[in-house]
């Protein structure tokens, strides 16, 4: 299960995808309709159009695709204009769990074509990046730079943090009831010792949760947080 959280000064929401997720190039690959400036010049001129912050729905729709998440992660990491070829090679290496020199020509072409024709225009239309079609370069848009996107990847064998805190709360309720009635073996130690243990458990859980959240932010690490090999 993957949980996507987008945070800025005005937006804070979650979306969860269970079961199958649109992760490959074939998912949602409908070419974005170019606007008039694009049709006339062959590329988008950010200075000639109003750049509005992407809406929550737009962000969720765009980042539901893994390849587009990888693109945003790469752009956030580099924080500069990136050539389309370099972006395609980086994403292709992540998707195929290999290195850039070991990518095949077929893998390079497949990633390059889908980014050029489908994914980058869609992200540009949503305001998440600036895509210059004529120059073949991409950069993170100013509104997207103000967004913090977090992924919470929960394998089937692990317990979500929400259930972890729920279980911890239940245990503390049992602890309080036991201390109230001086139940054995709680009565062996002073109440303050048990209270200190309960507080320590919550603080330790919150510290680990915070650390994991920071690692799961797009652009925070060298590789995307939902990379299968991580």
Give the SS3 label for residue 230.
coil
List the chain domain ranges: 2-152, 156-214
User: Residue 99 contacts by C-beta under 8 Å, 6 or more apart in sequence?
Assistant: 93
User: How do residues 68-83 score in pLDDT, each as one tens digit?
Assistant: 999 999 998 887 899 9
| Other beta carbons less than 10 A from residue 76's beta carbon | 19
Which alpha helices (H) appear in 79-160, and where do they start and end?
84-95, 105-114, 120-126, 142-145
User: How do residues 174-209 score in pLDDT, each as one tens digit?
Assistant: 999 999 999 988 989 999 999 999 999 999 999 999
Report the DSSP pairing between strands 137-140 and 2-7. unpaired
Tell me, what's the pLDDT at 230? 56
Q: Please give the average pLDDT of every successive group of 10 residues along the chain, which has 230 residues.
A: 48 39 48 46 46 75 91 89 96 94 95 96 92 94 76 74 94 94 90 94 94 82 77
Backbone φ, ψ for residue 129 (5° rounding): -155, 170
pTM (two decimals): 0.66
Q: Give the side-chain half-sphere CA count within 13 A for 225.
A: 24
d(CA 191, CA 105): 67
- Which one, of 53, 47, 48, lies nearest residue 11 by Cα? 53
């Amino acid at each position: 299960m993957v949980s996507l959280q987008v945070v800025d000064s005005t937006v804070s929401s979650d979306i969860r995808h269970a079961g199958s997720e649109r992760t490959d190039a074939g998912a949602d690959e409908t070419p974005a309709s170019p606007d008039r400036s694009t049709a006339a010049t062959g590329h988008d001129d950010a200075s000639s159009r109003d750049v509005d912050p992407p809406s929550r729905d737009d962000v969720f729709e765009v980042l539901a695709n893994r390849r587009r998440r990888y693109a945003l992660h790469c752009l956030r990491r580099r924080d500069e204009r990136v050539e389309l070829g370099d972006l395609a090679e980086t994403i292709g290496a992540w998707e195929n769990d290999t290195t850039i020199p070991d990518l095949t020509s077929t893998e390079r072409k497949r990633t390059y074509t889908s980014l050029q024709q489908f994914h980058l225009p869609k992200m540009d239309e949503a305001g998440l990046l600036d895509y210059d079609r004529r120059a073949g370069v991409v950069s993170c848009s100013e509104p997207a730079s103000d967004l913090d996107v977090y992924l919470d990847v929960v394998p089937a064998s692990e317990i979500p943090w929400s259930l972890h805190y729920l279980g911890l709360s239940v245990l503390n309720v049992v602890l309080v009831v036991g201390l109230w009635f001086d139940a054995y073996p709680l009565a062996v130690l002073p109440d303050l010792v048990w209270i200190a243990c309960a507080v320590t458990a919550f603080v330790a859980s919150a510290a680990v949760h915070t650390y994991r959240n920071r690692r799961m932010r797009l652009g925070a690490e060298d590789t995307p947080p939902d990379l299968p090999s991580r």
